[in-house]
Amino acid sequence: MFSVGHAQDALFRLNTGCLTCLLLGVSIIIFVQFDFRLFRFHCAYTTINDISGSERDCPEI
């Protein structure tokens, strides 16, 4: 027989799983956005250096 305790336990596990998925998704989104900003900043910095004419010992990718 299915008791109320089992239902609450199943619901709690489901909620915990959803919460974990949500936190993981949010942290991935934040990390990707931060990484993209860092990449964009690096590109802008390299462009400014190229415009100013300062040569750097950096191999072309």
Token pair for residue 31? 């990390």
- Give the separation between CA 2 and CA 37, rounded to whole angstroms: 52
pLDDT (tens digit, 9 = 90+) per residue, 21-52? 889 988 888 887 777 777 777 667 776 666 65
Q: How confident is the model at residue 61 (pLDDT cuts 50, 70, 90)?
A: low
pTM: 0.41
Q: What is the pLDDT of residue 51?
A: 61
Q: Is the pLDDT confidence value at 56 over 70? A: no
Domain ranges of the chain: 8-50
- Say if residues 56 and 49 touch (Cβ distance below 8 Å): yes
